[in-house]
Amino acid sequence: MTGILIIAIVIIIVLVLKYYMQQREIKKLNNFLEKILAGSTELEVLNQTEGELGILRANIYKTTTALISQRSILQKDKILLADALADISHQFKTPLTSLMVMNDLLEDETDEDKRREFLATQSVQLNRMNWLIQTLLKTSKLDAGLLTFTKKPISDESLIKSVLNPFVINMELKNIVLIKNLSGLELNCDEAWTREAIQNIVKNCIEHMDENGTLEISDRDTNLYHEIVIKDTGKGIAEEDLPHIFERFYRGKNSGTDSVGIGLALSKAIIENQNGVIDVDSKEGVGTSFKIKLYKTVL
C-alpha cells in the first residue's frame, strides 16, 4: 500500500512539474511575441523542447522569421516608393515651371511670332510630360505583373524598320549615318512591346550623338539566342555609370539636360519579361553598344 502511495505521489509531482514547465515555456513564448509586436527583430535561441509544445515553439519561430523578413521587404519598398515619388516630382517640376512661365508671358504678349514660339515651347513640354506619364504607367504595370506578352514570329528587318520610323527626321537633321546589317532573323517576341524597348535604346543613342555620327544595327544568331546589336558613335557612358544605367531615374554624368532616366529601365523590364537580357559596352568619347539577346528556350 505504501509503495502505491509513493508511486502516486511521484506521478503527481511529475505532472505538477510538467504543468509548471509548460506554463513557463508558454510565458516565454508570450513575452517573445510581445517583443516582436513591439518592433523587435531579435530572435532568441530556440530551445529544443519536445512534444507538442516544442512543435508550437518551432512554428512560432518560423512564422516570426517570415514576418520579420516581410517587414524588412515592406520597409525597403516604402523607401523605394518615397524615392520614386521624389524623382517623379522632380521630373515634373521643370516642365510645369516652364508651362507656368510661358502661360504668364502669353497673357501679355501681343506679337504673334512670339506667341507662336511660346506655344511651341509649351507643346514640347506637354509632350515630354505625356511621355513621362505613359512610361511610368507602363513600368508600373510591368512591376505589378499586369501585362501579358503575346509572342509571334516577326523578322528583325520588319521590326527594326518600324523602330526607326519616328527617328528619320531627327537623324536627317543631325546627319546621322545609318548602317543596317540584318539577315532577316525570325524573332519570337511581342512586336509592340519589343519595338518600344528598342526605340528607347535608339532614342538614347541618338540623343548622345553629335552631328555626323553613325548608328549601326546588326543581328546574330546562335544556338541559344537571337541577338540584335545597336551601336553608336556617341559620347559614351562613364565607367562608374555603366552598372546603373538601367536603374529607374538614374542619370549619368553624360546624360542630356532633357534625360529622365526611365527609358532604359523600361527597355530592360520589357526584354527580361520575354526571356531576354540587355548587355551594354561603352567607352567615353568612342561610343556605346547595346546587345539585346532573346533566348530561344527558357533558361
Q: How far from chain centre, in Å, is Cα 181? A: 31
Task: Identify residue 293 by its one-letter amino acid code.
Answer: K
Beta-sheet pairing, 225-232 with 287-295: antiparallel
| pLDDT at residue number 124 | 76
The number of beta carbons lying within 10 Å of the beta carbon of residue 276 is: 21
pLDDT at position 172 over 60: yes
Domain residues of the chain, as ranges?
2-72, 152-295
Provide the residue type at 294 as one letter. L
Read off the pLDDT band of 159 (50, 70, 90): very high
Q: In angstroms, rounded to a whole number, what is the distance separating the alpha carbons of residues 292 and 197?
A: 10
Work out the percent of the chain whose per-residue pLDDT is above 90.
29
By mean pLDDT, which of 22-36, 43-57, 148-162, 222-236 is the weakest? 43-57
Distance (Å, rounded) from C-alpha 45 to C-alpha 73? 23
Specify the pLDDT at position 296.
Answer: 86
Q: Which residues pair with 34 in a beta bridge?
A: none
The letter for the amino acid at 168 is V
- Average pLDDT over every residue of 263-289: 91
Which three cell numbers, joined as nine digits, stand for 65?
522569421
User: Any idea which of 81-85, 102-106, 171-175, 220-224 has the lowest mean pLDDT?
Assistant: 81-85
Q: Is the pLDDT of residue 202 over 90?
A: yes
- Residue 144 or 173, more confident: 173
- Pick the residue with more confidence: 205 or 3? 205
**Is the model more confident about 83 or about 269?**
269
pLDDT at 84: 62
Rounded distance, CA 85 to CA 79, Å?
10
Find which of 67-76, 226-235, 239-248, 253-262 is predicted with most confidence, using mean pLDDT. Answer: 226-235
> In sequence order, what DSSP letters do the residues of 146-159 get, joined into one string?
------EEEEHHHH
Q: Measure the N-to-C terminal CA separation of the chain; round to a whole number of Å.
A: 77
Determine the angle formed by the axes of helices 191-207 and 263-272, rounding to 10 degrees.
150
**pLDDT for residue 145 is more than 60:** yes
- How confident is the model over 96-140, as pLDDT tens digits? 777 787 788 788 778 888 888 878 877 877 877 887 788 777 877
Share of the chain above pLDDT 70, in %: 72
Confidence of residue 245 (pLDDT cuts 50, 70, 90): confident
Residues 19, 211: Cα–Cα separation, whole Å: 86
Assess whether pLDDT exceeds 90 at residue 14.
no
Q: Which pLDDT score is estimated for 111?
A: 80
CATH 3.30.565.10 given to domain 152-295: yes
